[in-house]
Amino acid sequence: MTATRASRVALVFSTHPLHPDATAALQARAEFRVASAPSADAIMAEGLEADVLVVRAPIPPAYFAAALRLRAAVRHGAGLDMIPMGAATAAGVLVANVPGANAVTVAEHAIFAAIALLRRFREVDAALRGQGWEHGRAFADHGRELGGRVLGIVGMGHIGTAMARIAAQGFGMQVAATTRRPASLPPGIMALALDDLVARADVLVLCCPLTEATRGLISASRIAAMKPGAILINVARGPVVDEGALVAGLQSGHLAGAALDVFATQPLPRDHALFALPNVILTPHMAGITQDSMARIGAVVVAEVLRVLSGQWPVNLCNPEVAAAFQARFPGAAGMA
């Protein structure tokens, strides 16, 4: 491309398709392309001309130094583990995200999964379909209700807060949480240290970010310390849980069930032991994805992309320390608003 930045149409490159409304809004203001596959090879081969990158897949660190026109990476969602922040900041690339837009979506998924596990939905449905009416009804006496039980939340960000509201106000659950900011908890939510939370929760929901501090947080010893018959729901990231220890806890009957939307290896290998367990609900990292949430996230992504292309800082700038490197990379941007 020989045209100058001032005369060429800006390129917005996305690792995945976006909501149709977001796509149309971006196409009205820029050239919009989607990677042929959400892979490192495709991103490196097809996305180096981008002015803005929309992120829904892991980005190789080398991309940021190689994409010489890149001004910003906008995460389609909240979690930043797909973006190597050090590489982006060192290259002078702004990073923005969309916090909270799918919080209710994820919280609803977790509540749905908890009810399905407590009422043994998978087993009832399979028995009814495969063996008949009475075999399905045989599970009824073993079902449990959500109301009145203790919900333990690990991570009280937007998702945890939405979970607490739905659980307490909608189901009359007792809600406890572990958080780095206990003073910020809503009224009525108990603040507990993690080990106390693990020991008290009937339903333990993980909705914390993946960091070095949270990697392996739910270890074999913490799974062993959970109440007999408790259930675990992971809508955070797979590596937060020791997967092998979780499988063992489920196989032994110590845990009544688990609902997992995220895994240590994604896609989840077809021969994984989790597939053989009837007391596990598995979903392919989709807890935060609905038509509604995609529209909300897409709208914020578009707004952030257009801010960057018009010479403004993103509202949800995640690496403010990048300012000097960004202005060195793009000297004409020194006066960004």
pLDDT category of residue 272 using cuts at 50, 70 and 90: very high
Phi, psi dihedral angles at 26 (to 5 degrees): -70, -40
Task: Please compute Rg for the chain using Cα positions.
Answer: 22
Residue 124 in this model has a pLDDT that exceeds 80: yes
Residue pair 279/60 in contact by the 8 Å Cβ criterion: no
Phi, psi dihedral angles at 268 (to 5 degrees): -65, 125
Report the 10 Å Cβ neighbour count for 86: 11
- What average pLDDT does this structure show over 236-252? 98
Residue pair 204/198 in contact by the 8 Å Cβ criterion: yes
pLDDT category of residue 332 using cuts at 50, 70 and 90: confident
**pTM listed for this prediction:** 0.90
Per-residue pLDDT tens over the stretch 301-319: 999 999 999 999 999 999 9
Residue 230 in this model has a pLDDT that exceeds 50: yes
CB within 8 Å of 273: residues ≥ 6 apart: 247, 251
- Domains belonging to the chain, first-starting first, are 11-101+291-333 (3.40.50.720), 103-282 (3.40.50.720)
Residue 6 in this model has a pLDDT that exceeds 60: no
What pLDDT is recorded for position 335? Answer: 54
pLDDT category of residue 4 using cuts at 50, 70 and 90: very low
- What average pLDDT does this structure show over 89-96? 98
Separation between Cα atoms, residue 90 and residue 319, nearest integer Å: 10
pLDDT category of residue 183 using cuts at 50, 70 and 90: confident
Residue 5 in this model has a pLDDT that exceeds 70: no
Separation between Cα atoms, residue 326 and residue 35, nearest integer Å: 25
What pLDDT is recorded for position 228? Answer: 98
CA distances from 91 to 14, 27, 211, 242, 243 (A): 19, 27, 22, 34, 35
pLDDT category of residue 246 using cuts at 50, 70 and 90: very high
Q: Determine the distance from the C-alpha atom of residue 260 to the mean position of all C-alpha atoms in its chain, rounded to a whole number.
A: 12
pLDDT category of residue 1 using cuts at 50, 70 and 90: very low
In three-state form (DSSP H/G/I as H, E/B as E, the rest C), the secondary structure along the chain is: CCCCCCCCCCEEEECCCCCHHHHHHHHCCCEEEECCCCCHHHHHHHCCCCCEEEECCCCCCHHHHHCCCCCEEEECCCCCCCCCHHHHHHHCCEEECCCCCCHHHHHHHHHHHHHHHHCCHHHHHHHHHHHCHHHHHCCHHHCCCCCCCEEEEECCCHHHHHHHHHHHHHHCCEEEEECCCHHHCCCCCEECCHHHHHHHCCEEEECCCCCCCCCCCECHHHHHHCCCCCEEEECCCHHHECHHHHHHHHHCCCCCEEEECCCCCCCCCCCCHHHHCCCEEECCCCCCCCHHHHHHHHHHHHHHHHHHHCCCCCCCECCHHHHHHHHHHCHHHCCCC
β-partners of residue 325 are none
The percentage of residues in the chain with a pLDDT greater than 70, rounded to a whole number, is: 97
What pLDDT is recorded for position 7? Answer: 61
What pLDDT is recorded for position 337? Answer: 56
More confident residue, 297 or 183: 297
By mean pLDDT, which of 5-9, 101-105, 228-232, 277-281 is the weakest?
5-9
Residue pair 297/103 in contact by the 8 Å Cβ criterion: no
What pLDDT is recorded for position 336? Answer: 67
Residue 166 in this model has a pLDDT that exceeds 70: yes
- What average pLDDT does this structure show over 214-238? 98
Assigned token pair, 205: 């929901």
**Nearest residue to 210 (alpha-carbon basis) of 237, 241, 234:** 237
More confident residue, 336 or 182: 182
pLDDT category of residue 180 using cuts at 50, 70 and 90: confident
- What average pLDDT does this structure show over 123-130? 96
What pLDDT is recorded for position 3? Answer: 40
What pLDDT is recorded for position 57? Answer: 95
Residue pair 264/239 in contact by the 8 Å Cβ criterion: yes
- What average pLDDT does this structure show over 279-291? 97
Residue 299 in this model has a pLDDT that exceeds 80: yes
